[in-house]
Chains A and B, each alone.
Chain A
Amino acid sequence: MALPLSYHWRNLFVRKATTALTVLVIAAVVGTFAWVIGFVAALNRALSVASDPRKIIVLQRGGTSETNSAISPEEFNRLTQLTDVERDPDTGRELISPEMFWQTQLPRVRDGGATRANVAVRGVTEMAFLVHRNVRPQGATISTGLPEVIVGLSAAKQFSGLNIGDTLRLGFAENREFKVVGYFSADGGPMESEIWAYLPLLQSAYGRTGYSAASLRLREGADPAATIAQMAGAAIQLSGQTEGDYWRSQSSMVRIYQGVCYVLIGMMTLAAMFSIANTMFATVAGRTREIAMLRTIGFSGGQVLRGFMLESTLLALLGGALGCAACWAWLQFVGHTKDMFGTSTFTAMAFDIRMTPVIVLISLAMVAVVGVLGAVFPARRAAQTQVIRALREE
């Protein structure tokens, strides 16, 4: 049987200052780690709902996003040549949605309007709701003749002035007033951070006759690659991407940010490991005679080694629990919604970061491994204590 847990637990508090400092370092690492994996999970969740394999985003040739793409009505009409586009069973029309993409600046809710961010405004027709099937209006939707908008739920949470009945000023010089008439959900995907208006009215507000992009829905079983190839051919000369590829490319900046976070976490983890090792070396040095006594009464070197590893793991888990609690408190304080700019749309995409039990478990498992690794050398030193020499120490 091993040494009792209470022995290790109480020993953690013998050197209060060192333990407290180590716990704080570990808490900082785990808190950041939990936040980042929460962020990554939220991002992946958002992108996974925006990965309809039957949906193709159409841009002008060379266009990288809806912001820097322009499609003329003639170019748009060429899309009817595509052979694998699904048709509306009622009207027989191809499910191709012409869309205009713009952005407007709105004050953020989280800082009380101190800063503003770009919000995507999408001009759509009724066809958009047939193509973007995860978009579901909640309550009223836009009418075809009135200057009205419906607002994605994430956008409504993030930005002020988007309550039903509020007036949104759009157009050059912001001289057109659009009334917020309803909300829409998009399963938490990126479109939920957008504002939708009726396409002709938005075109009129910005003096445009063409579109930014188009979205289309493929027939069941159709090969997206074949449609994209057909689209790039001489007859159509437009560029297409599956929805998943499109949003992944739009979030590449987020991926870089995520990579930087991982590098930082790696460095912080190393620091935490050294901190644990340092604390455990001090612990071992201060308990040499105690270790010698344990070895004398019959505890093996392996039992002593495992004991110190357990003690180190407890220390790490203590810091880990504090880090998770700190991350949770931080999210409560600043809010769960985090927005990031798309690479080339420069509009905010919102993610809902949550401290789920899975994230807590992953964070604690990570820190437990750090605790074990940090204890390897100090615990080995403890196990190799020269018993007779240690017993003779005054």
Chain B
Amino acid sequence: MSGADIELKDVRKAYYKDRLEIPVLDGLDLAIRSGEFVVLMGPSGSGKSTLLHLVGGLDSPTGGSVRVGEARLENMNERELTAWRSRHVGFIFQMYHLVPVLTAAQNVELPLLLYRMSSGERRQRVTTALDVVGLSDRMHHRPNQLSGGQEQRVAIARAIVTDPDVILADEPTGDLDARTSEEILNLMNLLNSEFKKTILMVTHDPKAAQHGERIVHLDKGVLHREELTAARAGARA
């Protein structure tokens, strides 16, 4: 499966605290092409993670529309969103969120348990995903037997094992050293270039942002500015 395009129109999201409305996104418009690698940047509280959650169907907008491929997320209930997520979105978190009691292979297998699939096919898919992230020799290791970088690779394998349209990454290198971060970002570039996955990545790190094609800067819940990364600009030139 290749990537899906993403379209957000006049998206608003507000939270309420003691009846006080706290706007997080305020009429945001954003379009992402299928197979594009977009980086979201901005100060804390600018709405980056909220935007990621809306695109991933973890949250619903207060107003406006969110479309990912054919799916109009604002019209879906929680049950539909849960089912949709399991088939169309791969998530990568800053803290990996691996299950400590399961092996790398079992962690990667988790999303496949939601599919009607034979154990042989699941095993095949897990092996392929771990092969893509270069960890086929660590299949039977538990998370506490892996380095931070290896844990994040397992998390990436878990995100791609269902062959989703979209990969959403929330500061995937935020907990890693520079060299390991570079490896992870190269891996994400591979997913984008080789497997044509649409990637939306949140980061605070300008160097990490250069791995994307386009950087979208958010501030106070609105699109502040957009820029093409150096690599993309160079390619255009």
Contacts and interface: CB of A to CB of B under 8 A. Distances in A.
Interface stretch (B35-43, B61-69, B77-85): B77-85
B101 A10 contact: yes
B91 to A, nearest CB: 5
B102 interface: yes
A4 B113 contact: yes
Interface stretch (B92-100, B127-135, B146-154, B212-220): B92-100
B interface, size bucket: 20 to 34
B100 A296 contact: no
A1 B101 contact: no
A289 B97 contact: yes
Contact of A290 (B97, B111, B113): B97
Most chain B CB inside 10 Å of its own CB: which residue of A11, A289, A293, A392: A293
Interface stretch (B51-59, B179-187, B188-196, B200-208): B51-59
B126 to A, nearest CB: 13
B51 to A, nearest CB: 12
Contact of B82 (A6, A289, A300): A300
Given A1-B113, A298-B87, A298-B111, A289 B95 contact: yes
Nearest to B97: A293
B53 A294 contact: no
A2 B113 contact: yes
A7 B85 contact: no
A interface, size bucket: 20 to 34
B61 to A, nearest CB: 13
A182 to B, nearest CB: 64
B211 interface: no
B101 A388 contact: no
B58 A7 contact: no
B12 interface: no
B59 A296 contact: no
A290 B114 CA distance: 17
Interface in A339-394: 387-388, 391-392
Nearest to A289: B97
A334 interface: no
B56 A296 contact: yes
Contacts of B229: none
Interface in A2-37: 2-4, 6-7, 10-11, 14
A204 to B, nearest CB: 78
A110 interface: no
12 contacts: A1-B113, A1-B114, A1-B115, A1-B116, A290-B97, A290-B99, A293-B97, A296-B58, A297-B111, A298-B85, A298-B114, A388-B58
The 6 closest A-B pairs by CB, nearest first: A298-B86, A10-B101, A293-B97, A1-B113, A297-B111, A298-B114
